[in-house]
Amino acid sequence: MLKLPASLALAGLLLAACSTTPPPLAEPMFDAPAAVRAVRAAGGAASSELDVQPLRDPQVEDMRKEAERLERAGQNPQAAAALDQALQITPDDPALLQERAEAALLNDKLDDAERFARKGLDGGSKVGPLCRRHWETIAQVREARARALPVDVPGNPSAADARRERDACTVAAPPRY
């Protein structure tokens, strides 16, 4: 028969063998707020750049402002819903489509983000800050997908391809005399 201290040591070893250490915390696959900050930074207009802004429908403008307020309050699904209402009025507005793409990023809806950005790109200007925001959105989606599943999909630009397109959107304003 085992002595008491030896049996306690054996029991301790058996218990230690049964315990597991928790796995290290995984790094987040997608940081939505950081992605949206990068998209918005890419759209910053230089003082010497041509930037044409369309006239806006007052009702749509109110919905856009409400979406901004909701986003600041952390109510991202509600902000997306407000933008969806605005898109029912002006479904082809490239700036509104881009705002909706950014709302999709904040809601971790990568497919929607790319779809809205591409639709805005198809119907909008191919130069300027908005063009860069469209392409940076696509780049952010591509990066997130590459981290999750590093496989190239034929016909879809990589993040690097999207960033080359983004950089090509910058066009200097015409000289003023």
Cα–Cα dist 99/50, whole Å: 20
β-sheet bridge partners, residue 172: 49
Class of domain 31-42+57-168: mainly alpha
- Of 159, 154, 151, 101, the C-alpha closest to 130 is 101
Residue 171 φ then ψ, to 5°: -130, 130
List, for residues 18-67, the tens digit of each pLDDT value.
Answer: 555 555 545 557 899 999 999 999 988 665 666 666 678 899 999 999 99
List, for residues 103-142, the tens digit of each pLDDT value.
Answer: 999 999 999 999 999 999 998 888 889 999 999 999 999 9
Strands (E), 19-133: none
> What tokens appear for 142 in the block?
């591509």
The contacts of residue 139 (CB under 8 Å, 6+ apart) are: 159, 162, 163, 166
pTM: 0.76
